[in-house]
Chains A and B, each alone.
Chain A
């Protein structure tokens, strides 16, 4: 092995990075080492605050003024970067080191056209003149499969979609065929379908270019699509490093094991198990435990763990773990069986008498200066008592707007919203109190939905006093019970939102939603902005509360793997219209609507054994002001039939039970084409 091993392109050894802050010196990254070879991609995984971006940026010596590399060595193709004079370092940036950033829109200068921004790299590092550099940009844009590169070069960043912009940034990073390509969450800001296209592109470019890739992400699913080796970071250190498949199938550190357990398994059957929860939170780097940094949260902890910090050691060939007890770390499947419980066992059919809330041809049209925005354009949805309806679709699909129409925040301009069969007033301001009490909402961003000047207690007590008939003392008592029910300490009653973490704030928002004892809670991307482990614990919480109180949910998300975990029924929406709806199991098994099929093919699943057929959507969701004729999905549909699709509205095809598909293609044809969209591996294997 050692003889034939290629020389690593990028090597970090014993790197330490400090930040000088008001709290003193923080050791943000400690004793970190990694190697990336040519054509190889190394995945840097960790939750927020784990130090993964600091590590990458510090290694190439781009740190904030208060940041400093204090020790270690970083070599790029054998050249030591630490101690290199600034001018030489600048010659490496942009030429030997290319970088792709999280948000392409903010990474590009808003007031310079794309072509010029990309050409700068060629002019700076390849010594090209204006016309040669423009030719080079056209070439590069063609390589990243950009349609009509010449037109794109004349555009300003805000005139392009996120996926197009990210291609531009990738083209810019690869302009000089760099030795190292750093990709910092490059698809996090994109839609699932666009993410899939960009990930395919990166996989292709990896073969074409010689670059070693350092891929930073929090998303375990994305890792499986791109990376060869993976390093898991926790509170500024690596806890585990290994080849991709090994890491997912036989992790040797409890933190990795827990992380894998936090992510919902893709499973179309109705039986669901809870997700693994990791108690506590990532320690701040100035409050690290003296022994193993994960010990306070670890299931396998013993006395020796807290005595001294175990080093990252090679415990199996090419497999590094910083766990003393790596030998007792069980295989994931076994661990999941023991540490989670069955939360849903049988299939629950939604019969007509049980329907709680129904949207019947709901329509939300906005008048704009240049036309009508058809945000929600005739949606039919049913939510059954005690069940969850998952609503999934790309951004711009109208999923949030329909929820706002149900609760009356954005009044529906057509169709009907019914609660227990009675038609509701479109606007919440005209609905009686008793109705308002029955429908509550949890928003995506708890920072924006909690008043920063009101205590947690106040926030929860407000619906109690507005919608309930409790006096102050009773309301206070009830609020404290609610805090306990969302697993927060009662002492949080007097805290202000800024004293809470993101996950805790969302728990408060959930407690507030439950305060009025509603029949329905609309959850609008409630977990999207949170870390993997926090997402898992919130999903567990939502499921537990539903089982206790028989509350119905509408769970809106772009994340199909979260939706499939939580939902009894799923509605797939596109451009203001439902494309497919029905019992979750049936929606997730063929036949699919072609749009559902594309979504299923695009979701990054955290299991390298699952095979997905690559079905990719071109372009992006059209403007709701300009809805295509016929089937509104036809311009992007991979299974486009021809004129019928472009001219005639598709029929609703009944599949089985309440499962319906809005498509021209006959069901048996769909089913036969779609047998291999997602192939789950043998679930007993892997361990």
Chain B
């Protein structure tokens, strides 16, 4: 088990390093000159050259990359030219907000998805199954900016239950932010719901056909007991993996929803950074999203191994 985790950790570090190369390369080849952006179009060439020297932009790209990554690892994420502030505290605060949003969404779609998936599997090929499968698929196909707008139109404009915009103060507490989180959370949950439903359904359908479920039934156990003791334990394993990977996907995928609701999370921060061509901010935010994604995958792998005795005791 320790070997397994170490191996996975190794892969994880490798993935992050590769991603950091891509991020750094992509941001340096973006059109636009940093010095011009910072100092304005009318700055003298001399001032620009001095600034470039100061920022280390005159050195070879490889050296710049190593310096950047080294500073990142040490916790020095640089200063954002567009916000004129240290990057790390800003990113950290926004990440916290995104995690709050993700948490609320998560608490909505995971239990519901598992429940619907189970119903679909147990009522396989009936109208209930078809309704759940088609319904959840429809939400996958529906982009967030459409479903989000529909939700705003119904729940905030028509019914007036929730605020239509979530442009809260970035440092709000969870309780303060909660009412503003509901609509964006539903928007996010709707797109992720279908994955959980489909995964739960297909793995439960598989497990229901297993010989050991037949054994459990023919032991004369009540159906409820067969379901909870023998089916769920095995059928939820792959679902847990999907859910854990989904957390990473969720954080990275909040850009549209956060922008739509003007919610101060990491996705919106990234969008802001891109619009302002704030390379320092883009690099820091993008790499952080990569790290979150990779960690979520690692957690998924470890969870699967821990929950599955066949892997645990190999």
Report A's interface with B, CB cutoff 8 A. 60, 62, 90-95, 97, 99, 101, 103, 106-112, 120-121, 124-125, 156, 158-159, 169, 172, 369
Contacts and interface: CB of A to CB of B under 8 A. Distances in A.
Given A99-B218, A103-B211, A158-B309, 5 more contacts: A95-B220, A99-B215, A101-B211, A110-B310, A111-B233
Contacts of B88: none
Interface of B: 3, 210-212, 214-222, 229-230, 233-234, 307-310, 313
B216 A109 contact: yes
A107 B222 contact: no
Contacts of B313: 156, 158-159
B98 to A, nearest CB: 34
12 contacts: A62-B214, A90-B220, A93-B217, A101-B211, A109-B216, A109-B234, A110-B308, A111-B309, A112-B233, A124-B219, A158-B309, A158-B313
Contacts of A95: 220
A101 B214 CA distance: 10
> Which A-B residue pairs are the 10 nearest by beta carbons?
A94-B220, A94-B219, A93-B220, A106-B211, A109-B212, A156-B309, A90-B220, A107-B211, A107-B215, A93-B218
Contacts of B221: 90, 94, 120, 124
Q: Which of A62, A109, A120 neighbours the largest number of chain B CB atoms within 10 Å of its CB?
A: A109
Contacts of A60: 218
Contacts of A101: 211, 214-215
B310 A156 contact: yes
Q: Which of B220, B229, B233, B310 neighbours the largest number of chain A CB atoms within 10 Å of its CB?
A: B220
A286 B119 CA distance: 35
Contacts of A111: 233-234, 307-310
B230 A92 contact: no
Given A156-B309, A156-B310, A158-B310, A110 B220 contact: no
Nearest to B237: A111
Contact of B234 (A110, A120, A156): A110
Q: Which of B210, B219, B222, B307 neighbours the largest number of chain A CB atoms within 10 Å of its CB?
A: B219
A196 B167 CA distance: 75
A108 B212 contact: yes
A526 to B, nearest CB: 27
Contact of A109 (B218, B222, B233): B233
Given A106-B210, A106-B212, A111-B309, A62 B218 contact: yes
A124 B219 CA distance: 8
Contacts of A172: 219
A109 B210 CA distance: 9
A90 B210 CA distance: 19
Contacts of B214: 62, 101, 107
B220 A124 contact: yes
Contacts of A106: 210-212
A90 B309 CA distance: 30
A101 B221 CA distance: 17
Contacts of A97: 218
A111 B207 CA distance: 12
A110 B309 contact: yes
B228 to A, nearest CB: 12
A263 to B, nearest CB: 28
A264 B221 CA distance: 44
Contacts of A93: 217-220
Nearest to B233: A111
Contacts of A108: 212, 215
Nearest to A60: B218
Contacts of A109: 212, 215-216, 230, 233-234
A94 B234 contact: no
Given A109-B230, A110-B234, A120 B310 contact: no
A90 B234 contact: no
Given A106-B210, A111-B234, A156-B310, A121 B218 contact: no
Contacts of B309: 110-111, 156, 158
A62 B217 contact: yes
A175 to B, nearest CB: 9
B223 to A, nearest CB: 8
A60 B220 CA distance: 12
Q: Which of A60, A107, A172 neighbours the largest number of chain B CB atoms within 10 Å of its CB?
A: A107
B213 to A, nearest CB: 8
B212 A107 contact: yes
Contacts of A92: 220
Nearest to A121: B219
A109 B217 CA distance: 12
Contacts of B220: 90-95, 121, 124-125
A199 to B, nearest CB: 21
